[in-house]
């Protein structure tokens, strides 16, 4: 008799609690003994990827043009609830199936058998490409900040696209080297990064408030001013397209999911990391944005800043000190490097998981962990190579390159929608979400969170493809649809050539030993 036939009816539930996932068929799972991330380090790693106050600081320009203070404040509140629903959905599934594959593994488990491979492949590739796009978007921020400092002090300097490209690739290469050789031996790096970014936030907040104490802006201009410099006649469209900026603070919030096979007690640590990132991210970014709006006297000057870094001008106005503003930019630069380190690490684990499941051409290399370094070296190199190619786009068009930021968000939310929709299809049955799980939502909350996750993905797919500025020209158009189309073509070729034959995702095992239909 098969061993699985002797298990109690809900034996798989006990397996989940211990992290071995014996309830699943076809899952290659990293054993508990190789896991070194503590629960606190998991929270730290998850936080530094989003680093929400730094995220909103780096992308403030778009929101100022598309709604101004209204988008920057109420957009943050709206995004908190919408992404909060997504995070609740992810946390509940992570407490049940904590694997590095995350969304695409859950899609494979929850989907009807005849659709399982195709749907989970689409979800997995969408998520992988989203993470590569997120890494690419983060990697350009240090280049923009460094050259922003140069432009701030030397208005005569003529920056060229290749300047940004070289700095972008240099920092990306150094982070790759660190992730490959040292990160596994210095996991305290996440804790240090977490402490330093929060300390930087406090320093910036206190300094700006103290230096602007006698000249705060009127509350009406902070809470009730809607600016529409986008050219859209509809303020609603301008607001919705401007949500890219507040939404960017949660780019990569699913990072903890893909580190699940590297952390201890993943069934509890991963949901806690997700919820901590959500809450800390909202508190810091909301407080940061309100402070900056009260301390900034001229938003038009901010938008027209010659440095290309609007937050630089906001800090200059708030502190009335070029030195203080420059120090703050250096702190933001450091936060961006920390975020890139965590994002590269997480993205490589997702690529490695897909390759381990034989979903990518070259899986025999990218699906391997290095024996000595204990990291997926070839997955890291593969992601870096793709980022290098994307970086070359900046040499031709910065608008096309910037589309990858929106593309990352679109693909990210699509990957959330797959398992959320399938949970609704399965009516959130205890067969798929066993009751004794560490993170359990009340039934009405769970249904609502899953439904909002799906609806938000549809909204993002529509409005993040819209042009951000009207009228549309070749230099300001939104290239996100073109990028999505190119990615779809590449994913389709990979499926036809390789994955259609070799890819098999995990399935839920019945107590009788059969695979769930």
- Pick the range with the lowest mean pLDDT from 5-9, 213-217, 505-509: 5-9
Tokens (6 digits) for 346: 């997480």
What is the chain's length? 517
Q: Is the pLDDT of residue 328 over 90?
A: yes
CA distances from 195 to 144, 187, 276, 293 (A): 24, 14, 14, 25
The reported pLDDT for the residue numbered 517 is 60
Q: How far apart are CA 246 and CA 257, in angstroms?
A: 22
Give residue-wise pLDDT tens across range 130-165: 999 999 989 999 999 999 999 999 888 888 989 999
Question: Average pLDDT, stretch 361-371?
Answer: 89
The predicted model gives 345-363 an average pLDDT of 92
At 218 the three-state DSSP class reads coil
pLDDT for the residue numbered 323: 94
Q: According to the per-residue pLDDT averaged within each range, which of 18-22, 55-59, 109-113 is highest?
A: 109-113
Q: What is the mean pLDDT of residues 323-342?
A: 94
Q: For tokens 């590739």, name the residue.
A: 125
pLDDT band at 4 (very low <50, low <70, confident <90, very high): very low
pLDDT over 90, % of the chain: 52
* pLDDT at residue 359 in the model: 93
With vertex at residue 153, the alpha carbon angle to CA 147 and CA 158, rounded to the nearest 5 degrees, is 50
**What pLDDT score was predicted for residue 21?**
66
Under the banding of pLDDT at 50, 70 and 90, the label for residue 276 is very high
**% the chain with pLDDT above 70:** 92
What DSSP string describes 346-366? HHHHHHHHHHHTT-STTHHHH
296-306 residue pLDDT tens: 888 878 877 77
What is the C-alpha radius of gyration for the chain, rounded to an integer number of angstroms? Answer: 23
The pLDDT mean for the chain works out to 86
Q: What is the pLDDT of residue 5?
A: 38
Structure-token match 């004794």, residue found: 436
Residue 22's pLDDT band, with cuts at 50, 70 and 90, is: low
Nearest CA to 49 among 173, 117, 135?
135
**Structure-block tokens of residue 507:** 């399935």
The answer to whether 511 and 4 have CB atoms below 8 angstroms apart is yes
pLDDT of residue 282: 94
What is the rounded average pLDDT of the residues 82-111?
93
12 pLDDT more than 70: no
Q: Are strands 24-25 and 227-228 parallel, antiparallel or unpaired?
A: unpaired
| pLDDT score at 6 | 40
Within 426-473, residue ranges assigned H as helices are: 443-463
Q: For 429-445, how does the pLDDT look when each residue is reduced to its tens digit (9 = 90+)?
A: 888 888 778 888 999 99
Asked if 308 contacts 135 with a C-beta cutoff of 8 angstroms, the reply is no
What does the pLDDT read at residue 448? 96
Instruction: Please name which of 484, 463, 415 lies closest in space to residue 93, comparing C-alpha atoms.
Output: 415
pLDDT, mean of residues 260-266:
84
In this prediction, residues 201-223 reach a mean pLDDT of: 89
- CA distance linking residue 128 with residue 414, whole number of Å: 12
pLDDT digits (tens, 9 = 90+) for 407-418: 889 999 999 999
Digit-coded pLDDT (tens) for 485-516: 999 999 999 999 999 999 988 887 755 444 55
pTM of the model: 0.89
Distance of CA 481 to the CA centre of its chain: 19
Q: Is the per-residue pLDDT at 42 higher than 80?
A: yes
> DSSP assignment of 130-182, as one string?
HHHHHHHHHHHHHHHHHHHHHHHH-TT----HHHHHHHHHHHHHHHHHHHHHT
Contact at 8 Å (CB) between 487 and 129? yes
pLDDT tens, 227-249? Answer: 777 777 777 888 888 888 899 88
What was the pLDDT predicted at 416?
A: 97
Give mean pLDDT, residues 349-358: 92
DSSP labels, 4-24:
GGGS-TTHHHHHHHTT--TTE
CATH of 31-508, one of 2.60.40.10, 3.40.50.720, 1.25.40.10, 1.20.1740.10: 1.20.1740.10
| pLDDT reported for residue 30 | 56
Q: Which residue has the higher pLDDT, 317 or 24?
A: 317
What are the phi and psi torsion angles at 509 (to 5°)? -95, 130
Residue 516 is predicted with a pLDDT of 55
Q: Answer whether 145's CB lies under 8 Å from 333's CB.
A: yes
CA 494 to mean position of chain CA atoms: 24
> pLDDT at position 327, please?
96
pLDDT mean over 13-20: 44
d(CA 174, CA 184): 15
Which position has the higher pLDDT, 266 or 184? Answer: 266
Please check whether residue 238 is in contact with residue 228, taking contact to mean a CB–CB distance below 8 angstroms.
Answer: yes
216 pLDDT higher than 70 = yes
**What are the C-alpha distances in Å from 474 to residues 89, 214, 396, 397, 399?**
39, 45, 12, 9, 9
Query: What pLDDT shows up at residue 8?
Result: 41
**Using CA atoms, how far apart are residues 517 and 507, in angstroms rounded to an integer?**
9
Query: CA-to-CA distance for 251 and 243, rounded, in angstroms?
Result: 12
The 10s digit of each residue's pLDDT in 79-94 is: 999 999 999 999 999 9
> Look-up: residue for tokens 């049940």?
96
Query: What is the crossing angle of helices 322-356 and 39-50, to 10°?
Result: 120
């Amino acid at each position: 008799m098969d061993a699985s036939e002797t298990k109690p009816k809900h034996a798989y539930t006990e397996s989940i609690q211990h992290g071995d996932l014996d309830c699943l068929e076809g899952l290659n799972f990293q054993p508990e003994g190789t896991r070194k991330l503590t629960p606190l380090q998991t929270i730290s790693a998850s936080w530094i990827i989003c680093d929400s106050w730094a995220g909103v600081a780096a992308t403030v320009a778009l929101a100022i043009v598309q709604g101004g203070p209204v988008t920057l404040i109420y957009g943050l509140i709206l995004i908190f609830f919408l992404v909060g629903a997504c995070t609740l959905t992810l946390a509940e599934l992570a407490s049940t199936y904590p694997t590095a594959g995350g969304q695409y593994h859950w899609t494979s488990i929850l989907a009807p058998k005849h659709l399982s491979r195709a749907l989970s492949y689409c979800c997995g590739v969408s998520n992988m490409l989203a993470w590569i796009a997120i890494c690419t978007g983060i990697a350009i921020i240090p280049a923009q900040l460094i050259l922003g400092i140069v432009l701030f002090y030397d208005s005569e300097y003529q920056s060229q696209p290749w300047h940004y490209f070289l700095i972008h690739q240099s920092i990306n290469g150094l982070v790759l080297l660190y992730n490959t050789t040292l990160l596994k031996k210095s996991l305290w790096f996440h804790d240090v990064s977490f402490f330093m970014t929060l300390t930087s936030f406090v320093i910036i907040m206190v300094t700006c408030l103290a230096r602007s104490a006698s000249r705060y802006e009127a509350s009406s201009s902070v809470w009730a001013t809607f600016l529409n410099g986008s050219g859209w006649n509809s303020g609603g469209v301008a607001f919705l397209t401007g949500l890219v900026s507040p939404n960017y603070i949660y780019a990569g919030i699913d990072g903890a999911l893909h580190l699940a096979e590297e952390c201890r007690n993943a069934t509890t640590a991963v949901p806690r990391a997700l919820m901590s990132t959500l809450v800390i991210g909202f508190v810091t970014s909301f407080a940061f944005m309100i402070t900056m709006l009260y301390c900034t006297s001229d938003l038009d000057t901010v938008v027209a800043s010659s440095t290309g870094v609007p937050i630089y001008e906001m800090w200059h106005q708030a502190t009335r000190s070029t030195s203080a503003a420059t120090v703050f930019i250096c702190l933001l630069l450091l936060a961006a490097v920390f975020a890139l380190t965590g994002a590269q690490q997480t993205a490589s684990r997702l690529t490695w998981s897909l390759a381990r499941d034989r979903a990518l051409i070259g899986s025999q290399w990218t699906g391997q962990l290095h024996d000595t370094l204990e990291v997926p070296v070839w997955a890291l190199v593969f992601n870096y190579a793709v980022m290098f190619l994307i970086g070359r786009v900046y040499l031709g068009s910065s608008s096309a390159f910037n589309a990858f930021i929106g593309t990352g968000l679109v693909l990210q939310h699509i990957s959330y929608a797959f398992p959320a929709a399938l949970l609704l299809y399965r009516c959130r049955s205890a067969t798929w979400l066993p009751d004794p799980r560490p993170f359990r939502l009340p039934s009405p909350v769970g249904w609502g969170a899953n439904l909002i996750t799906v609806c938000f993905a549809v909204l993002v797919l529509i409005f993040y493809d819209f042009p951000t500025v009207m009228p549309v020209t070749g230099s300001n158009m939104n290239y996100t649809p073109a990028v999505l189309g190119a990615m779809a073509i590449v994913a389709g070729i990979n499926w036809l050539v390789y994955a259609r034959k070799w890819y098999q995702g995990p399935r839920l095992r019945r107590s009788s030993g059969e695979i769930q239909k």
